Structure 1
């Protein structure tokens, strides 16, 4: 798409939602002074994506992109990258008994956890993040999200169950667990 039609689309389909977008960002982002930067980064992302292909539902795309941007920012602020930097060699760690296999396995486990976390329902993911990662008290999470403490408890329980289910389901297909005994093997050996 050429510049002029894309600019026209952006103004008519995206910028018209700026007031609602700002309300959304202020409601869900705990650092109000960062909202203008979030908005600009979001607009850049949406514009770049639209240059490759226009979304069929621009408003939904805008707000979904905003949610993803905030999640990315939270993750970036809270998690130290597990990717090696520069000439970092996994064997140069403080704990000498960490083998390359164990180091790699830890990275894979973190990746599986991040993937499972991203698949949680939106509200559930927010609650789990605030409660387990940011370690906010249950009462503060309820206040921040405008829900009851009982609802926070339910989201935590659901989130933990879904994460455990996702990780255990993946573990069943993981090569390290390929030799686990299943019920058919037990029955066969019992005969």
Structure 2
């Protein structure tokens, strides 16, 4: 894509949405001092994506990018540090077998995942299963289904996004960190 066309699109279509984007970020992200950095990262992602193809609908694309970034950040905030894992290795943990509650939660998550996969459009479902479950290379999936590799890539991205959206409602019970605080979820004060 022509950089000058992307620049023009960005200035005319994206930047006028800055106020709405900032308001969205303020409502969804607790750390107000991080909003300028979040906004910059969103702009970077949107601009880079537009160098491949300018989205037809700018506002939904911008806000979907913002939503995805906030989800990424929230997930990263819930990841346990490697030091905490190393510290816990020295503990005498007698039983690592999941308890009945953990088994039930796991079964329910699997059921919801299966339901999300079954709701995918047929071609999207087949492509996603071949790539992500069966591990076939993109080229092989394209050949097998008689579609282009870029279509395989698009269908996998769509499938993963739809599954992630369906699974986003599944939030594990909050745990207390070693500092006595519960992890913050996006949008919670």
Larger Rg: 1
Identify the structure with bigger relative contact order (alpha carbons < 8 Å, sequence gap 6+).
2
